[in-house]
Amino acid sequence: FVIHAEPLLLVCLLLCGHWPFSVAMMELADDSPDAAQKPSDKKDFKLSLITWNVEGINGEKLPERARGLVKYLNLYNPDVVFLQELIDPYVQFLKKRFESYLMIEGAEEGYFTGMLLKKSRVTLVESEIVAYRTTQMMRNLLVVIVDGQKLCLMTSHLESGKACSKERMNQLHVVKWRFKRAPDDVTVVFGGDTNLRDAEVTKVGLPATVCDVWERLGKQEHCRYTWDTTTNTNKTLPFVARCRFDRIYLRPAINRGVPRLAPDHMALVGLEKLDCGRYTSDHWGIYCTFSAE
C-alpha cells in the first residue's frame, strides 16, 4: 500500500491508542448474523480460503467497508480467512459478527494481520508470531497450525514500497525457511499482501515443492491484478498502478499416502462498489479453493 498524509496520521493515532472510531460506530444499524453453519467433515480434504488486505488503517467509510467485508465472508463462507491491515476496532467488530470462527491476531497494537478459522472445519493446535527483525513497518509472519487436515497456515503483510525491496526479500527468506522446515506430512499455505515483484521472488528462489497458486491455475488474466488503481478508486493517486501484490503459495504434503491438496479455483472478490461509494478495500481479495489430487 502507499502511505499518504491521512493514513499516516491514522497510524500515529493507532500507535498512541487513540481510535478515530469505535466498534459501536462500525456496527451502526448492521445486524447481519454470521453465515449459517452446515454440518461438515473436517477430513474431507478440501479447503476454501480468502486472503484480503482490508485497508483498516484508512478511516474513510471504514464502518461501511467493514460491513461490506462481512457480507462477502457470509457469501463465500470460507474455511480460513487471511486478513491484513487490521486494527483493534475492526477485530472486535469481526469477533462479534463471526462467532463460528476463531480469530487469531498477529499483534495487539497498531495495525496487523489476523486469521479467521471456521471452528466446524479446522481446529487450532498452536499459533506463533515470527518477528521480522529489521522491519520498519511493524510487519511479521503469523503462523497457525491446525488439526483436522494437517495444515500450516501463514499470512503476512510484507514490507511496502519499491524502495523496500531488500527488506521485503529478507522477509520472504523467512517465509521460505518456514516452507522448508515444515514436516513432510503437512500441507503449507502462505498468503497475504506480499507487495512482491516477480523479480524479487526469482532472486529469493522458493523451494521447488512450492507453487504460486495463480501460476499453477494458468495465470488467468481476470484475477491477475489485486491492486488496480484503474478500477479501484479508494485511493486518489497521481499515477496508475496494476500490481499482483496479493498472492497465495502452496506446498502440498510430500509424504506418500498423505492427501495432496491442489488448487482448483481462484477468483477476485470485492469488485463491487458499496452503497457508500467506496470499495471494501483498495485491494481486491482473493478467494481460492483446494481439493485432494
- Write down the residue that cell numbers 483498495 correspond to: 282
Answer whether 183's CB lies under 8 Å from 252's CB. no
Distance of CA 240 to the CA centre of its chain: 23
For residue 33, tell me if it sits in a domain.
no
Strand partners, 129: 142
For residue 164, tell me if it sits in a domain.
yes
For residues 153 and 81, give the distance between their C-alpha atoms in angstroms, rounded to a whole number: 10
DSSP single-letter state for residue 223: G
For residue 66, tell me if it sits in a domain.
yes
Answer whether 68's CB lies under 8 Å from 274's CB. yes
Q: How many residues does the chain have?
A: 293
Any catalytic annotation for residue 185?
no
For residue 29, tell me if it sits in a domain.
no
What total of structural domains would you count in the chain?
A: 1
For residue 130, tell me if it sits in a domain.
yes
pLDDT in tens, 122-176: 999 999 999 999 999 999 999 999 986 789 999 999 999 999 999 999 999 999 9
pLDDT in tens, 221-276: 999 999 999 999 999 888 899 999 999 999 999 998 888 999 999 999 999 999 99
For residue 5, tell me if it sits in a domain.
no
pTM reported for the whole predicted model: 0.89
pLDDT of residue 6: 42
CATH number, domain of 188, equals 3.60.10.10
Strand partners, 262: 291
pLDDT of residue 293: 84
For residue 234, tell me if it sits in a domain.
yes
Q: What percent of the chain has pLDDT over 70?
A: 85
For residue 280, tell me if it sits in a domain.
yes
For residues 244 and 247, give the distance between their C-alpha atoms in angstroms, rounded to a whole number: 7
Residues with Cβ < 8 Å from 9, sequence gap 6 or more? none
Catalytic, out of 31, 34, 44, 193: 193
Residue 54 backbone phi and psi in degrees, to 5: -90, 5
Instruction: Tell me the three state secondary structure of residue 257.
Output: coil
- Looking only at the bridges linking them, the beta strands covering 80-86 and 101-105 are unpaired
Domain membership of residue 162 as a residue range = 46-292
Residue 23 backbone phi and psi in degrees, to 5: -60, -40
pLDDT in tens, 191-225: 999 999 999 999 999 999 999 999 999 999 999 99
